[in-house]
Structure 1
Amino acid sequence: MQLQEQNRIKLKQQLEDNGFEHAINYLMETSRQGVRCAKAGETDYTKLGRSRVGGDPDLPPQFAWPLTTDGTPMTFLVQLNMCDVAKHDDNALLPKTGMLSFFLGIDEPAYNIEHRVIWFDETEVLSAVRREPPSETALEDTYVGYDLEARSSLEPPSYAYIDNEQIESNNVTLDDYDDLLYEIRDVEDDDIIQLFGYPIGQHDDSEYEAALMLLTGEEYEYNEDKALEKIAAHFGGDKTKAKQEVADMQMLLELETDDDVGFCWWDAGVLHFFIRKEDLVARRFDRTYCSLYSS
């Protein structure tokens, strides 16, 4: 609770310092609890099971490396040690122990990207060893491994999710708010990962896209009403349930482009992994959705 209050005080001060006093109540009410992970130095692999981005993963000896549908080894992205990360999860949704690992296939097209998210329990983490990919991976590149350090965060709405009328005034514009978001995100220059909060993007419909695919297997046609109708049909026409599904969709991970690691998602964009709240609580990490945003 003390960290939550510190995050609130810090965000409020940033809003005041940047001329957003008129929107403080709105932005504080709509901000979401999150977890951020920053690079904490290049990994030397001396301590297995640490949270890591890039490089090689630590996997149980008998675990088969994830493959794409055409048999190509997926590219390892991230492993998060839940003992280190979950204690910063004020949402209390993440597993308390074990390790969450993310693998990716070819990052084209930008929607419904082939991937795997795997949760290893505490016993499997204890037996894990450093593993190199069996051959060249889907992204056809190698990435430098960095240890990660997690912290709790308070995430104001991203540019696409704000109420414009609440933000604009005689003194500040939407562009000023966009600049503020970059300032907030770049306070820690080594940030590379965000869990929960709001996704970066041009439109506020990422949750519709993810919910539609996860629940119906259908691709999003960039029409929220049509997507909602299809989700409602999945629940026997229950529109209230459909709206709740979209509202409950969780951004499990946002992974940024990073020169140190070597990640570059199209034109310096971000990767997004989404999961239904119900599946997250049930530890159904086989039911996730991956997409890419690039300006």
Structure 2
Amino acid sequence: MRFDDPGSLNDVCTQRLGERAGRQFAAMARRGFQLIRPTGRAEATGLCRLGGPALLEPGTLWPEQNGVPLSLHAVLDTDALATWLGTELPVRSGLLNFFYPDPDLPYEDYRRLDLSDSQVCRVIPAHPAQAVVVTAPRPARSYPAVPVYAAEVTMLPDCWDVEDDDVEFDKDQHWGAASLILSEMEDLDGNTAGSHCAFGWPDTSYTLKVSSRDADGPAVHLLQLAEDTELGWGWGDAGTLYFTIPAEALAAGDYRQVVAQALCC
């Protein structure tokens, strides 16, 4: 759920969920962006873009898995995003290059990949002043370069990312906190399904469990890439690709712990 006006978020939550539960749910909001093609007065945000060549520091090897080079899907300019994110971006890493296998790789190359291996995705940071343009080696695919405008939004979690201890609920009426959110917030406009987003909350987290409490702490959502016919990528029927990282790893700037997951209907 997204809000273009952060000031209305608390009012909507308390009106629908009650004073106490509403404040608790509103406190889970995260700042993020919708990544859209610039129109009208909107201009591209820094060096943020989809597709195109990578922007890597000299000497950085192009990432691969089992000998198959990955494809560059997006570049985020964290310096341009930092003002809006504030403390939600604990370390500014300059440019972030997001790599994942091209879903249309030749069969012989695709069968060499292990999609369950953490090395099947890679996020590589680069200092903007040192980064150089690096084109994809074959058989990695080079998508068209599309600069994007990062529209500031405030996002609430999907109902499945809310755990029972997060929000008070009437146990006689609801089987859990997710039931309360699902029933009272279901018709709220502004879901980010089908769009490209950065940070904030992903559009659906039933299997991602971005808020899961584990040894590494809660995960942080870095990037959501929807099917895009103009760019020529997709991950199954209405598929979406998500990149997440443990909060502690993000604070340390350790992008080796990023996990990517493609989900479809």
TM-score exceeds 0.5? yes
Partner SS for 2:8: helix
- How does the TM-score come out when normalised to structure 2? 0.71
State yes or no: 1:11 paired with 2:5: no
- Amino acid of the structure 2 residue aligned with 1:253: L
Q: 1:98 to 1:174 in 2, by over 3 A?
A: closer
- The SS at the match of 1:89 is helix
After superposition, give the CA deviation of every residue in 1:190-234 in whole Å (9 maximum; x if it has no partner): 9412314356233464565xxxxxxxxxxxxxxxxxxxxxxxxxx
Partner of residue 68, structure 1:
65
TM-score (norm 1): 0.65
Report the CA distance shift for 1:90/1:100 in structure 2 as closer, same or farther (over 3 A).
Answer: same
- Secondary structure at the aligned position of 2:139 is classed as coil
Please state how far the C-alpha of 1:72 moved relative to its aligned partner: 1.7
Judging changes above 3 Å, is the alpha-carbon distance between structure 1 residues 200 and 93 closer, same or farther for their aligned structure 2 residues?
same
Alignment of 1:114-263 (within 5 A): 114-125=120-131, 128-129=132-133, 131-137=134-140, 142-162=142-162, 165=174, 174=182, 177-180=185-188, 183-185=189-191, 191-198=195-202, 200-203=204-207, 205=209, 243=213, 245-263=215-233
Query: SS at the partner of 1:123?
Result: coil
Using the aligned pairs only, state the percent identity: 20
Rounded to whole Å, the distance in 1 between the matches of 2:123 and 2:178 is: 36
Cα displacement (A) at 1:92? 4.0
Per-residue deviation, residues 48-68 of structure 1 (Å, max 9, x unmatched): x71111233333454332222
Q: Is this contact kept in 1: 2:219–2:245, CA < 8 A?
A: yes
In structure 1, the gaps of 5 or more residues are 209-242
Q: Which consecutive residues of structure 2, in runs of 5 or more, have no partner in the other structure?
A: 104-112
Indicate the SS of the match to 1:275.
Answer: strand
Which structure has the higher relative contact order (CA within 8 Å, separation 6+)?
Answer: 2
Aligned to 1:228: none
8 Å Cα contact 2:13/2:23 also seen in 1: no
How large is the RMSD of aligned CA atoms in angstroms?
A: 3.6
More helix by share: 1
- Amino acid of the residue matched to residue 194 of structure 1? A
Q: How many residues align?
A: 235
Q: Which residue of 1 aligns with 2:31?
A: 34
Cα distance in 1 between the residues matched to 2:55 and 2:254: 21
Match of 1:224 in 2: none
CA contact 1:89–1:152 (8 Å) conserved in 2: no
